[in-house]
Amino acid sequence: MRRGLIAVMLAMLLAAPSLGQQPEPGAPEWSVTDLASLGRWIDAAPEDALPRLSTAALDTAVAAGDRERIDEEAGALALRLARIHLLGSAAPSERTGWRIVDPDREIALAPMLEQALASHTLDTFFALQRPAHRQYAALRRAYADEQDAEKRRTIARNMERWRWMPRSLGSDYVLVNAARFEATLWRDDEQAGTWRVIVGKQSTPTPVFDATIEGVILNPWWEIPASIVRESVGALVRRNPALARQRGYVWSGGRYRQRPGPNNALGQMKLVMPNPFSVYMHDTPSKQLFDEEVRAYSHGCIRTDDALGYAATLLDGVRTREEIDAIIASGKTTTVRLARPIPVYVAYFTAVSDGEGGVMVLPDIYRRDAAIRSVPSGN
């Protein structure tokens, strides 16, 4: 922390006679108290694993006693600080592959800042830009206490990732953390369930994206992706059509599909969650893989443990578990819509709360951490 910003600024402001002049009509006026608050937040930015912004231009304006310039420089500095708290400080190249849409980018911060100055609530204005999720709060606490430089750097990278998420994920949502091989369902901002998942192999990693869960397909057909047709299914259908039929593979109308049944790669359930990656949450017949500690086996889709239990939880109030089981037993492909669509965020966090006041650092299975370079290098 650079010593003296607040003290020097206050001394200059109180000593400069021209600062008693009125600002231009309509311009947000920065009082001594507001400038002191801005100084504290600038000095405290490293506590959120953010850079400490330069105050050189503002210091020059204060030294000159230029009221108009002070208001201009302080406003620009405050907006820049608010933006990095809200949206992160990483360059676009560091965010490669992160495709979760962040609506916070559309927030008009300037009017909010003006209101904060008018109501003397600048501290609240800055505090509201931090990620609101409890995972961020846990990481922030751990970052302050951690002594190991490498672990501290990992925590900082994941604090930055939380700034790339929407500040509000909604009251109901699903969060998939590919690095933890886990999906959690949140209802009314409380965790309502956790499921183990299998994610993509290193060669076919699960992408980071957001979508909307609209419904559940029971006894689904599998529309086989072209990459898997080239890899295995196409050759099987051509060379051993009897075995292909036994496994449920069908070639029709120029496309390869697999019938519903015990061998179907999607198992007994697939979520309706349209997205440009054709990546879905679904069941699997290979349930023994859920007992593995590192569960990276798929071509990118998210295989879900206790898939029918997960579906029943999502369909609460629409179908009972008994009704779902009856549909499964019928063998008929059936789509059931959720009572209300909910967002799903397929993310990647390599540092997470351990639920006991600490933080766990997870293996970086896709080697994505190193791309985030603009974080503190250690203590």
Distance CA 310, CA 312 (A): 5
Cα distances (angstroms) measured from residue 51 to each of 44, 59, 129: 9, 18, 15
DSSP characters over 34-58: HHHHHHHHHHHGGGGT------HHH
CA 131-137-139 angle, 5° bins: 105
One-letter amino acid for residue 309 of the chain: G
CATH of 135-221+266-370, one of 2.40.40.20, 3.40.50.10860, 2.60.40.10, 2.40.440.10: 2.40.440.10
In 3D space, the residue among 59, 80, 74, 78 whose CA is nearest the CA of residue 29 turns out to be 74
Strands (E), the chain: 98-99, 173-177, 182-187, 190-200, 208-218, 222-223, 249-252, 255-258, 269-272, 281-282, 296-298, 302-304, 334-347, 351-353, 359-361
pLDDT greater at residue 376 or residue 38:
38
Distance CA 114, CA 79 (A): 10
In 3D space, the residue among 104, 164, 172 whose CA is nearest the CA of residue 136 turns out to be 164
Which pLDDT value is given to residue 22? 45
> Catalytic residue among 85, 133, 299, 301, which?
301
> Catalytic residue among 85, 120, 133, 282, which?
282
pLDDT greater at residue 257 or residue 39:
39
pLDDT greater at residue 238 or residue 43:
43
pLDDT greater at residue 248 or residue 302:
302
**Any bridge partners for residue 169, and if so which?**
none
C-alpha dihedral sign at 285, 287, 292, 295: positive
Distance CA 244, CA 140 (A): 53
Read off the pLDDT of residues 167-212 as tens digits, 9 standing for 90 and up.
Answer: 999 999 999 999 999 999 999 989 999 999 999 999 999 999 999 9
Domain ranges of the chain: 5-130, 135-221+266-370, 222-259
Angle between helices 56-64 and 5-15 (to 10 degrees): 20
Asked if the model's pLDDT at residue 12 lies above 70, the reply is: no
Is 282 one of the catalytic residues?
Answer: yes
Read off the pLDDT of residues 345-374 as tens digits, 9 standing for 90 and up.
Answer: 999 999 999 988 889 999 999 999 999 998
Is 85 one of the catalytic residues?
Answer: no
Residue 246 pLDDT grade (very low, low, confident, very high; cuts 50, 70, 90): confident
